[in-house]
């Protein structure tokens, strides 16, 4: 049953370098590991409806299978586990706390991680 129409709006990724090893003049060059995040934002329709939460899903292929990676009551979610060189596909569904009904899935968003 269609409960809400979700539109996945904004998608951003960020890379954060992490330095490992000693940083004095006698050591080998530093090893830099890059950690990526992907932040998803969406708008639920209708706004200000019954209390809801959102299931966030990810897949390595547009056709799936999709696995749930998080549940949130906010209209934003950050995936802290993407790996460089992979492409991820995300979708979201709303769940009404009162009735337990699920919405249709949002549009699928593709995110290539450099």
pLDDT of residue 16: 58
Q: Write out pLDDT tens, residues 50-83.
A: 668 999 999 999 999 999 999 999 889 999 999 9
Q: Write out pLDDT tens, residues 14-47.
A: 555 555 554 555 556 666 666 789 999 888 766 5
83 and 90 Cβ atoms separated by less than 8 Å:
no
Count of domains forming the chain: 1
Residue 26 lies in domain: 5-112
CATH number of the domain to which 33 belongs: 2.60.40.10
73 and 54 Cβ atoms separated by less than 8 Å:
yes
Indicate the pTM of the whole model.
0.75
Report the distance separating Cα 68 and Cα 75, nearest Å: 16
């Amino acid at each position: 049953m269609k409960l809400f129409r979700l539109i996945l709006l904004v998608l951003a990724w960020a890379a954060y370098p992490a330095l490992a090893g000693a940083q004095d003049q006698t050591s080998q060059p530093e090893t830099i590991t890059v950690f990526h995040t992907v932040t998803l934002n969406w708008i639920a329709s209708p706004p200000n409806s019954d209390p809801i939460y959102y299931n966030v899903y990810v897949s390595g292929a547009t056709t799936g299978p999709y696995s749930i990676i998080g549940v949130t009551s906010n209209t934003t979610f950050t995936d802290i586990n993407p790996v460089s060189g992979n492409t991820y596909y995300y979708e979201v569904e709303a769940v009404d706390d009162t009735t337990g009904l699920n919405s249709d899935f949002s549009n699928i968003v593709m995110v290539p991680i450099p």
